[in-house]
Structure 1
Amino acid sequence: MKIENIEAIVLRIPFSVGGISAAGVWGGAGMQAADSLLVKVTTDDGLVGWGETFGFVGIPAVKAAIEQMLAPACIGRDAAQIEAIGLDLQRRFHVFGRSGAIFYGLSALDIALWDICGKAAGLPIHRLLGGARRDRLPAYASLIRYADPESIATNVRRAMEDDYRSLKLHEVDLTVIRAARDAAGPDIEITLDTNCPWTLHEAIDMAQALEPLSLRWLEEPLWPPENFSGLAALRRQCGIPIAAGENATTLMEFHHMLGAGAVDILQPSPAKMGGISALRKVFALAEAHNTQVMVHTFYDGPGLLASIHATAALGDAEAMIEWRYFGMEAQVLGDTIVPQAGMIAVPDGPGLGIDPDPEVIQRYRVS
């Protein structure tokens, strides 16, 4: 089961978000399409595995890292040696960064290799991880940033009409966040991802102002995101649970974050931080620190599936799946993965359980 070919595939799929998106960390204002990067790994005996990296404006750098550095180092290797390949790639290329393009590409390769091994064994990945504890997981609607009270209220109501009982905002303006809470009412859970905008003192002031809004968690409130001592200080003064981790990559970063007492909720991102191999270790590390894991799943393809399998097998009874609530023109994985009544099904087929739709790839591929 030797790796014969690795292909990086870029997709651009239009979406509608019930209004005009504001500028954010993913890209400029008025975004109308989501770029994603899939990785297709083929073995010499014909098995195909699929992976995914974090997308948007960072795709060209990740694609180059895969094609020019990672893929040549993998051709001819045993696809079943997932851990050995990952460690070798990290050691070989660590001088070029322990985060960003190299790690994103490595993450996609890891997910694809797990897909191959599951298919070879005839088992879903959640079985390889110990077995799913649930066959469906609650999903929360993760909204784009609108930065407008009327638009956020409209889209909060839209998500509620689609039966979501938990929502994530990506807003930083108090007026907009209050409008979302007013539209949702007291019974809908709201989480807030601010994408690292504030100093510690600013975050303390904002947390105090946000406290009456009954947020489930406050996500990544500090700049820089690796300021774990600052997060710990905020957590000690904040009445809202603190969540972070999507920008951490290595296991050591998660170790330092948990050791500092920085978070109530840990958010590893499998398409950024080493794939399923690293994700299962982070689950174990979090359990040792009595910390809840809510996997970051801002993806539409194999990265989303990796999160679902790991959460089903390793997550606690309250673990949820983030669903990118974008109104995609087409679903990379087809309609079977779309949440129903606020719940997302855990695939039970071999490997990741669902392959990307070839017609969607053909129609929306840009490189």
Structure 2
Amino acid sequence: MKIAMIEVIAVSIPFAGGSRSAESAWGGKNAGSADSLLVKVTTEGGIVGWGEAFGFTAIPAVRAAIEQVIAPLCIGLSALNIGSLMLDVQKRLHIFGRSGAIMFGISAIDTALWDILGKVTGQPVHRLLGGAAVSELTCYASLVRYTDPQLLVENVNRALADGFSHLKLHEITVDAVREARNAAGDNVEITLDVNCPWTVRQALDMSAKLRQFNLRWLEEPIWPPENFGGLARLRREGGIPIAAGENVSTLVEFQQMLSAGAVDVVQPSPAKMGGISELQKVFSLAAANATEVMVHSFYDGPGLLASVHASAALGSKDSLVEWRYFDLEAQLYGDAMRPRNGTITVPQGPGLGFDPDADVVRSFRV
């Protein structure tokens, strides 16, 4: 069961035409599409596994890392010896850094190999991870940064009408959070991801203003994101639970974060930090530190599926799945993974459960 080919596929799916949310997605940057980087691994026997690397504007660098550096180390080796192969690749490439494009590429290949393992054994990934006690998981609608209060409220109301009772905002102003809370009411759980904009002092000042909105957590509040001591201080003094982890790349860094007491919620991102092999280790590490895991999954491809399988098998009944809430012209899995009334079904087919729709990939391939 040797790896015969590793193919990198960039997909750019436009926001649905005429959507007002599309016009201000990404905080006014006027991005017209959502860009994903898929990785297709094929064995000599023709079995195909799919993975996803962190994409967006990083796609050119990650593509080059996979095609020119990582893939040549994997071709011709067993697709089923996932742990030993991925460890060997990490060791051989550590000189180039333990994060960024190299780790994103390793993450995608690792997830694809788990997909292959599940298909070979006839088991869904969640069963390979120990089995899922649930058949569906609650989602939170993860909104883009709208900036415009009217658009924000409009999309909060849309998400509530679609059955979501948990929301994530990406706004960075107190007024925007106030508008969202007023629109949602007191019974809707709101989290706030600000993407690392503030010093510790600024974050403390903002927390004092944000406490009134009863946030479930404040996510990635401090620059730089690896300032775990600063996060720990904010957690102690800020009065709002802290979440972070999407910018953490290695198990050692997760250990440092947890040892520092930096977070109430740890958020590993399977398309960034080593794929499913490393993701399962973070769950174990978090359990040993009595810390909740909410997998970061601002994706709609194999990265999303990896998050769902891991959360179902290794998380708790309260685990939430991040659903990237905006309208695209097409979804990589059609309606198969679309939430219903705020919940998403755990795939039961072998491997990740679904392959990306070939027509969608063909139509939107870059």
Tell me whether the two structures share a fold, i.e. TM-score over 0.5. yes
Q: CA deviation digits over 1:231-272, x for unaligned, max 9? A: 000000122110000000100000000000000000000010
1:195 aligned to 2:198?
no
Partner of 1:325: 325
Asked whether the 8 Å contact 1:22–1:147 carries over to 2, the reply is no
Asked whether the 8 Å contact 2:26–2:144 carries over to 1, the reply is no
Partner of 2:351: 351
Q: Distance in 1 between matches of 2:25 and 2:113?
A: 36
Partner of 2:281: 281
Q: Which amino acid is the alignment partner of residue 133 of structure 2?
A: R
Deviation at 1:335, TM superposition (A): 0.7
Q: Distance in 1 between matches of 2:345 and 2:218?
A: 27
Partner of 2:316: 316
Q: Distance in 1 between matches of 2:238 and 2:173?
A: 18
Deviation at 1:149, TM superposition (A): 1.2
Q: CA deviation digits over 1:199-249, x for unaligned, max 9? A: 000000101100000111000000000000000000001221100000001
Q: Distance in 2 between matches of 1:102 and 1:201?
A: 33
Deviation at 1:85, TM superposition (A): 1.2
Q: Distance in 2 between matches of 1:225 and 1:133?
A: 34
Partner of 2:268: 268
Partner of 1:21: 24
Q: Distance in 2 between matches of 1:171 and 1:279?
A: 28
Partner of 1:175: 175
Q: CA deviation digits over 1:55-85, x for unaligned, max 9? A: 1100010000000001111000000111111
Q: CA deviation digits over 1:22-62, x for unaligned, max 9? A: 555xxx71112001000000001111000001111000100
Partner of 2:106: 106
Q: Distance in 2 between matches of 1:266 and 1:92?
A: 28
Q: Distance in 1 between matches of 2:329 and 2:187?
A: 30
Choose 274-283 or 324-333, whichever is displaced more: 324-333
Q: Distance in 2 between matches of 1:335 and 1:120?
A: 25
Identity %: 61
Asked whether the 8 Å contact 1:21–1:30 carries over to 2, the reply is yes
Asked whether the 8 Å contact 2:280–2:310 carries over to 1, the reply is yes
Q: What pairs up with 1:76-95 in 2 under 5 angstroms? A: 76-95=76-95
Partner of 1:236: 236
1:218 aligned to 2:221?
no
Q: Distance in 1 between matches of 2:336 and 2:75?
A: 33
Choose 115-124 or 146-155, whichever is displaced more: 146-155
Partner of 2:47: 47
Asked whether the 8 Å contact 1:194–1:221 carries over to 2, the reply is yes
Q: Which amino acid is the alignment partner of residue 291 of structure 2?
A: T
Partner of 1:301: 301
Q: What pairs up with 1:28-43 in 2 under 5 angstroms? A: 29-43=29-43
Q: Distance in 2 between matches of 1:22 and 1:278?
A: 31
Tell me how large the CA RMSD over aligned residues is.
Answer: 0.9
Deviation at 1:21, TM superposition (A): 2.1
Detail structure 1 runs of 4+ shifted over 4 Å in the superposition. Answer: none
Q: CA deviation digits over 1:262-310, x for unaligned, max 9? A: 0000000001000000000000000000000000010111110000000
- Judged with a 3 Å threshold, the aligned counterparts in structure 2 of structure 1 residues 154 and 177 are, in CA distance, closer, same or farther, namely same
Q: Which amino acid is the alignment partner of residue 95 of structure 2?
A: V
Q: Please give the secondary structure, in 2, of the residue aligned with 1:337.
A: coil
Asked whether the 8 Å contact 2:199–2:223 carries over to 1, the reply is yes
Q: Distance in 2 between matches of 1:116 and 1:21?
A: 39
* Superposition TM-score, scaled by structure 2 size: 0.98
Deviation at 1:18, TM superposition (A): 3.7
Deviation at 1:176, TM superposition (A): 1.0
1:259 aligned to 2:262?
no
Partner of 2:184: 184
Q: Which amino acid is the alignment partner of residue 21 of structure 1?
A: S
Asked whether the 8 Å contact 2:38–2:52 carries over to 1, the reply is yes
Deviation at 1:15, TM superposition (A): 1.4
Q: CA deviation digits over 1:97-130, x for unaligned, max 9? A: 1100000000000000000000000000000000
Partner of 1:96: 96
Q: Which amino acid is the alignment partner of residue 332 of structure 2?
A: V
Asked whether the 8 Å contact 1:18–1:155 carries over to 2, the reply is no
Asked whether the 8 Å contact 1:293–1:319 carries over to 2, the reply is yes
Q: What pairs up with 1:94-173 in 2 under 5 angstroms? A: 94-173=94-173
1:204 aligned to 2:204?
yes
